[in-house]
Amino acid sequence: MSIATVDKPTDDGPPRRAITNQRNASDKRFRAVVTAGAMFAFVVLALIAGFLLFRGFEVFKEFGFGFLTSSTWDSGTGESLEGASFGVAAMLVGSVIVALMAMILALPFVIGTSLFLEYYIGKKLRAVLVSILDLMAAIPSIIYGLWGYLVLMPYAAGWAETINKYFGWIPIFKVDVENFDASPFISALVLGLMIIPIASSVTREVYSRAPQDQISAAYALGGSRWGALKAVVLPFGRSGLIGGMLLGLGRALGETVAVLLTLNLVFELKFQVLASAGGNVASLIASRIGEAGPSEIKALMAAGLVLFTLTLLVNFGASIIVSRTSKVAQ
């Protein structure tokens, strides 16, 4: 152990001792391994961003901010950006609309599932249902997509028609053309189903840690079970619920194949969620990449960068919200 002091003498009393520690060889090796592992993940993330930026750069240079605000998708000659016109506004807005709708549709089921599993059933049944829930989270999205396309869509189109019939006076439920297949609404139903397991899993975990003494207090005050849950568990678990939902939002924003099967991509900025026209950045890339010429590939890369940035921002916002609300709850 070496003994070191802070060099600069202070005015108030003797110099403060610096904290020093001589690490031994095995500690150094372990530190190197852990650091390398962590750095690797960051480096890959940076490389992905760099790759997208590099490939999409020309597009941003050519169209500037217009790439985000226009909704035309015309590859022109197909060889160069000269004469082509690309913009992802409709796709970007569509991604957000579908993901937000999925969240809204999933929310009551997430709360219900979490509370039911934690507070309304016995230990044995809970163990079974929790593992089923985790299995649901592991179902590949192509399965959800196929089911949504083949099974759900015929019914859901009917529901959409009914909603349109009675609530068509609300602008978002209006349709210009009476075709209710492959609408943002149907995509959101499928995505909502997909995020219920993953969001419930996080939420249930936090609900299960609600302080028992406060739950007892609520019961002792003449609270019913619902009363105790409302007074203690829901406020306590708010951060977990938000965290779980935002995790789901992250998944919904980037979901590709389930949306590809259930949404009709149209390059037109519209806010009619029941109509058979919507947008989605991830599905756009998947649907176009196979037959894209050199110029369109550049545009798709730029679209990828936009999606990448959007999901990063959402996750960043999520962690801020979670840390803020969990402070309040403690």
Binding residues for another protein (CB under 8 A): 211, 213-214, 216-224, 227-228, 231-232, 235-236, 328-330
Adjacent-strand bridge partners of 85: 74
CA distances from 121 to 111, 202, 215, 303 (A): 15, 18, 17, 46
Q: What is the dihedral of CA 207, 212, 215, 221, to 10 degrees?
A: 180
CB of 4 to another protein, least distance (A): 42
Tell me the C-alpha distance between 315 and 201, whole Å: 18
Nearer of residues 124 and 165 to another protein, judged by Cβ = 124
Nearer of residues 176 and 213 to another protein, judged by Cβ = 213
Nearer of residues 136 and 329 to another protein, judged by Cβ = 329
CB of 311 to another protein, least distance (A): 31
CB of 247 to another protein, least distance (A): 23
Nearer of residues 215 and 245 to another protein, judged by Cβ = 215
CB of 211 to another protein, least distance (A): 7
Sign of the dihedral through C-alpha 132, 135, 137, 139: negative
Of 23, 26, 5, 29, the C-alpha closest to 15 is 5
CB of 124 to another protein, least distance (A): 12
Residue 154's contacts (CB-CB under 8 Å, 6 or more residues apart) are: none
* Sequence-ordered strand ranges (E) for 283-322: none
Nearer of residues 76 and 223 to another protein, judged by Cβ = 223
CB of 297 to another protein, least distance (A): 52
Nearer of residues 117 and 303 to another protein, judged by Cβ = 117
Tell me the C-alpha distance between 135 and 152, whole Å: 21
